Structure 1
Amino acid sequence: MGKLITREQQEVENTWDLSSIFESDQAFDQAFESIESKLDQAEKFKGGFDSSDKLLEALKTERELGNELSKLYVYAHLKHDQDTSNDTYSAMETRARGLAVKFSSAWSFLVPAIMEIPEDTLQAYAEEDSFKEFKFDLINLNKKRPYILSDKEEQLLAEAGEVMHTPSQVYGMFNNADITFEAAVDKDGKTHELTQGNFIELLKSEDRVLRESAYKNLYSSYDKFKNTLSQTLAGEVNTHVFSASARGYDSSRHQALSNNHIPEKVYDTLVKTVNDNLHLLHRYTEIRKKFLELDSLKMYDMYVPLVDDVDFNMTYDNAKEWLVKALQPLGEEYISIIQEGLDNRWVDVYQNKGKRTGAYSSGTYGTNPYILMNWQDNVNNLFTLAHEFGHSVHSYYSRKNQPSNLSGYSIFVAEVASTFNEALLADYMFNNLEDDKQKLYLLNEQLEGFRGTVFRQTMFAEFEHKIHQLRESGQPLTAGKLNEVYGELNKKYFGQAVDYDDAISVEWARIPHFYMNYYVYQYSTGYSAAASLSKQVLEGGKDVAERYIEEFLKKGSSNYPIEILKNAGVDMTSSEPIQNALLVFEKQLDQFEELLSKIEK
């Protein structure tokens, strides 16, 4: 690997063009001063709203300043991420964050003040033509009224917030800073440092001795602290139960899902449908056992690639060609947006010293949807590029077709467009590659993605709901009980092909998502929705693609996420989209086995 270049050595055409936000850093400074001078505009509205005109003026003022601030912050954080060692841009991002805090504080009165308006009056305001762009926001606020407490009670809950965050903070500190693991040892007796960051990579090793060592050493460390960690998790669950009860929700899950107006039926349908199709995951574990030629398939054998050492070099220029061809089913307009992004420097392509690692799509209302990459010449980076362009084009469409207050989109649908693009790319590449080993490699990646996202995250969701139900029924969450529930779920999901041991029962202790209050199910629903939608587009042609763009990509948050998906063609309250996604997984299993037998011959 060559020496890493500096930011100044990057070719300009391979970097993002942020001049469309601010022409220079001096222009940023001027905008900063302008926004800071306008923060006191909030003061004129603090007396409450005795007319619809005053409320409308407040909403427009807050939105306009928020838009200006968002552009300021995006510029600062992108500048910082392109070279985190640059003190000028580190300071710029810090200043932008500080201004955002001041803005939030200045306008923190707005929602409470709106809630002082009688429900009927606020509903009447929402029906006025002048409030058209804010109607959905006002309707949502009205729907939250039954769960909003008195001023004194709300203040008390707000002050208790820091205390209620203690379990997750303690767990985060323990999991990220304090817990250590004994080094893993390979078949030659060589030791390998074992960390949270490299654990899965070690489980992908061809050396089974190393895999077993890493697996046992990591979980033995968690097992030593299982009683303590059971209480941090129990404390987190207790805060959810208390909050839901205090506000009058039916349950913890009811409160968590109501934030995005997701019917609880969606959760139950996901779990039931996946459970009804666990034979597909069991079939996959049987294939894994057979292909790896193991008498006993262990949980530490679940990550090692079935297809490895495949020559799949992919330059950025080649990746752009694959991307544009693969997304053709979405039509000329969609492709023109992709082309605009590729040609007009939305993408910051290559690594340089100090550049933030990983990849993301970023931007805000009034800016381009920028993409950060750290390009390596492999096919995985092509899929990452497709993924991030999915986010970026979704944002582009939403911002072009919705007012800024409705141009974002819920986390419930955030990964649909990105995963959708990956599905189209995988289908196109499979049908156009000539090398069977490359096809097998792609299928292996797709099967692993499905296993890890749909099956595994649904198992997590089932575990999370079970432990909340246990606590809500008055049962204590001891380490023994958590191990029992998790261990049984693991056996149910992965099937009889796996030879289980007690170590996997404590895996719950290393999953930070269990501290995120009914979050994980959205990975499964988003992946399933994307798989179902991509299947519809590939089979249904132009009209279905247009419906996907018009009813999903352009809608932002102008409706509830469940309704947006339904209008696009997937009703997540039914089992159909999840079942369609599972059909895709089954087809990939068929293709994988067929190619395996072909190569073996």
Structure 2
Amino acid sequence: MSELKKREEIEDKFKWNIDKVYKNIEDWENDFEDLKKEAVKLREFSGKLTNGESILEYFALNEKISRKAETLYVYAHLKYDEDTSNSTYQSLMSKVDIYMAELASYTAFFVPEILSLDDKFIEDEINRVEGLKPFKFLIEDILKEKPHILSKEMEELLAAASDCLDAPSAIHSILTNADMTFGKIEDEDGNEVELTEGNYSSFIRSKNKDVRKAAFERLFGEYEKLKNTLATSLTASIKTFNFSSKVRKYNSALEASLKPNNIPLEVYKNAVKVINDNLNSLHRYVQIKKKLLGLDEIHMYDLYVPVIEIPKEKIEFNEGVNIVLDALKPLGTEYLDIFKSGVNDGWIDIYENKGKRGGAYSWGGYDTMPYVLLNYNNELGDVSTLAHEMGHSIHSYYSRKEQSYYYANYTLFCAEVASTTNESLLIHYLIEKETDQKKKLYLINQELEQIRTTVFRQLMFAEFELYTHETLEQGIPLTAEDYNKAWHDLNVKYFGNEIIIDKEIDVEWSRIPHFYSDFYVYQYATGYAAASAFSKDILEGKEGAVEKYKGFLKAGGSDYPINILKNAGVDMTTNVPIEATIKRFNELLDMIEK
């Protein structure tokens, strides 16, 4: 497509079918008015949750209202994402967004009231009232947080201060996205181009060493100039997490982050330890990369360069679907049939159009299809994105089909597992069937880079996070120089002696927005490791592997994530999943060395 089409110029067969949710805006408006009338009834339960029957009544009404609100919300947002310039859908989305905050206030009493009841009384009521039994896990999950819930006044005070406490993240975002500029560099054709955070990723992959070196030095040079400000904002953010965990009577910020989902602290610390025990694999990768790129010396700015370039192949959408279906054959006909019906029934919005939101996602509600937004551009990366997003959607399909409304949503810890399992099966399939040596090498490098950036790199981030939180928890101050030194030392340890750890990299910590979301990044690595373990068992045809995996998909949020994975045969409290990923990394290194 030389010129981007308008939304109405795209054929219906390439669009998702949202008319299944609401035929028109009038129907949406009618439902929205009904919701506003019904939802206020939730407030009538305040102060009345004194027995099992009233709690059960509350659950029933809350489900009815929440499902309607969710459907209205999903429809408005999906329509807006089709064409963000459409003022009708802008106002629809804005209307529902504003209302959702009001709706949340109607149910704010629920958790404090449940927590005010005696544990023994609640246990007796669950045993007495048959209809409450399915809510046992949900209620016990609320009760276990009792030691960390504060008085009503304290909770209100913290809620009122939450906006102020988010300031460090807001400051980092505005400084790095709006205020920082990186000047100009010469591109591969000798043209002067402005360097931005957006185009840096393509410059750092450039085959021209001078281009990637210039981009690297220019970008991090600007961060270096602002390192003291960025260090102050990061320290303030970490102190906020530490303050919050202390106020809520947790032993540490790490415990405050993991305990609500019942994730043992060992899962985090052990992941870091296992990766540390296997850093020789990453050192070996650096050595091989240096050799394949024909470099006398390898620098930090050489890490992202593909070891081989192949001509771009055009892969039409239907061909992409067939490639993914072939790759996912080991998952069995039931899974493939769901995938095919998703493609045929209008789950997917395929091509880019003017005003359409960029990127890709999978999203929907309990009563809608698990929709997929793509901006498919006929490249191999788009085929991988299709496999990834359909992994999420089929996870949602199974969990909504098998679980009640309250247990249909899975946690973030589990979210990336299904999508990454699909990607893992796809790349295995592509490598296995490829006969052209150049293409095979390219694909092997793709998977190696996935593991390097998702497992090794994210666990290096996790190690840095643990160091910063624990140091500040002990009352030891951290300056920009301390952050720089810690980051430099980690890079030396992770990448080994073969690479030159350029001084510019020392300030890289200041560029990572994830450090403003408490202990978030390790989940990329654990999710990838769990997916690797699943795909390995499935590909080896291990007895019951597919059924166990589907059991994981069907479990939704009916238990804590560690238990859901353990029941499916992947024990994240052991070294096995991450070690399996490293074993795969080593196999790929063996292939690439041949």
TM-score bin, normalised by smaller chain: over 0.9
1:522-601 aligned within 5 A: 522-541=523-542, 543-550=544-551, 552-594=552-594
2-side partners of 1:418 and 1:187: how far apart?
35
1-side partners of 2:523 and 2:529: how far apart?
10
Residue aligning to 1:26: 26
Are the equivalent residues in 2 in contact too, given 1:329–1:542 (CA < 8 A)? no
1-side partners of 2:244 and 2:312: how far apart?
53
Structure 1 residue 585: Cα displacement: 1.2
Q: 1:559 and 1:120, CA in 2 relative to 1: closer, same or farther beyond 3 A?
A: same
Question: Which amino acid in 2 is paired with 1:66?
Answer: S
Indicate the SS of the match to 2:392.
helix
Residue identity over aligned pairs, in percent, reads: 42
Question: Which amino acid in 1 is paired with 2:114?
Answer: I
Number of residues paired by the alignment? 593
1:332-343 aligned within 5 A: 332-343=333-344
2-side partners of 1:434 and 1:294: how far apart?
28
Residue aligning to 1:599: none
Structure 1 residue 542: Cα displacement: 5.9
Residue aligning to 2:110: 110
1:204-353 aligned within 5 A: 204-353=205-354
Are the equivalent residues in 2 in contact too, given 1:312–1:438 (CA < 8 A)? no
Indicate the SS of the match to 1:192.
strand
Residue aligning to 2:418: 417
Residue aligning to 2:440: 439
- Larger deviation: 540-549 or 286-295? 540-549
Residue aligning to 1:495: 496
1-side partners of 2:312 and 2:158: how far apart?
57
2-side partners of 1:214 and 1:431: how far apart?
36
Q: 1:46 and 1:355, CA in 2 relative to 1: closer, same or farther beyond 3 A?
A: same
Question: Which amino acid in 1 is paired with 2:81?
Answer: D
Question: Which amino acid in 2 is paired with 1:85?
Answer: S
Residue aligning to 1:598: none
2-side partners of 1:160 and 1:2: how far apart?
50
2-side partners of 1:132 and 1:172: how far apart?
45
Indicate the SS of the match to 2:362.
strand
- Larger deviation: 18-27 or 5-14? 18-27
Residue aligning to 1:101: 101
Return 5+ residue gaps in structure 2 as ranges.
none
Residue aligning to 1:402: 403
Are the equivalent residues in 2 in contact too, given 1:349–1:374 (CA < 8 A)? yes
TM-score normalised according to structure 1 size: 0.97
Are the equivalent residues in 1 in contact too, given 2:488–2:506 (CA < 8 A)? yes
2-side partners of 1:540 and 1:465: how far apart?
38
- Larger deviation: 538-547 or 120-129? 120-129
- Larger deviation: 20-29 or 402-411? 20-29
Are the equivalent residues in 1 in contact too, given 2:165–2:240 (CA < 8 A)? yes
Give the RMSD, CA atoms, in angstroms: 1.3
Are the equivalent residues in 1 in contact too, given 2:310–2:439 (CA < 8 A)? no
Are the equivalent residues in 2 in contact too, given 1:123–1:138 (CA < 8 A)? no
Residue aligning to 2:121: 121
Question: Which amino acid in 2 is paired with 1:12?
Answer: D
Structure 1 residue 190: Cα displacement: 2.9
1-side partners of 2:190 and 2:312: how far apart?
30
Residue aligning to 2:513: 512
- Larger deviation: 139-148 or 95-104? 95-104
1-side partners of 2:492 and 2:469: how far apart?
21
Are the equivalent residues in 2 in contact too, given 1:463–1:485 (CA < 8 A)? yes
2-side partners of 1:186 and 1:357: how far apart?
25
**Pairing 1:51–2:55 present:** no
Are the equivalent residues in 2 in contact too, given 1:347–1:371 (CA < 8 A)? yes
2-side partners of 1:454 and 1:270: how far apart?
9
Residue aligning to 2:8: 8
Structure 1 residue 362: Cα displacement: 0.8
**Pairing 1:142–2:140 present:** no
- Larger deviation: 440-449 or 512-521? 440-449
Residue aligning to 1:364: 365
Indicate the SS of the match to 2:2.
coil
Structure 1 residue 71: Cα displacement: 0.7
Are the equivalent residues in 2 in contact too, given 1:310–1:437 (CA < 8 A)? no
1-side partners of 2:311 and 2:578: how far apart?
32
TM-score normalised according to structure 2 size: 0.98
Indicate the SS of the match to 1:351.
coil
1-side partners of 2:48 and 2:478: how far apart?
46
Indicate the SS of the match to 1:198.
helix
Question: Which amino acid in 1 is paired with 2:253?
Answer: S
User: 1:448-495: CA deviations, max 9, x gaps?
Assistant: 111110000000000000011111111101011101111100111111
Structure 1 residue 188: Cα displacement: 6.2
2-side partners of 1:157 and 1:86: how far apart?
38
Indicate the SS of the match to 2:555.
coil
Indicate the SS of the match to 1:361.
strand
Residue aligning to 2:158: 157
Q: 1:189 and 1:310, CA in 2 relative to 1: closer, same or farther beyond 3 A?
A: closer
Return 5+ residue gaps in structure 1 as ranges.
595-601
Indicate the SS of the match to 1:371.
strand
Q: 1:368 and 1:187, CA in 2 relative to 1: closer, same or farther beyond 3 A?
A: closer
Are the equivalent residues in 1 in contact too, given 2:530–2:577 (CA < 8 A)? yes
Indicate the SS of the match to 1:48.
coil
Are the equivalent residues in 1 in contact too, given 2:145–2:260 (CA < 8 A)? no
Are the equivalent residues in 2 in contact too, given 1:56–1:131 (CA < 8 A)? yes
1-side partners of 2:130 and 2:535: how far apart?
37
Structure 1 residue 187: Cα displacement: 6.4
User: 1:294-348: CA deviations, max 9, x gaps?
Assistant: 1111111111111213343211111111111111111111111001011111111
Q: 1:60 and 1:187, CA in 2 relative to 1: closer, same or farther beyond 3 A?
A: closer
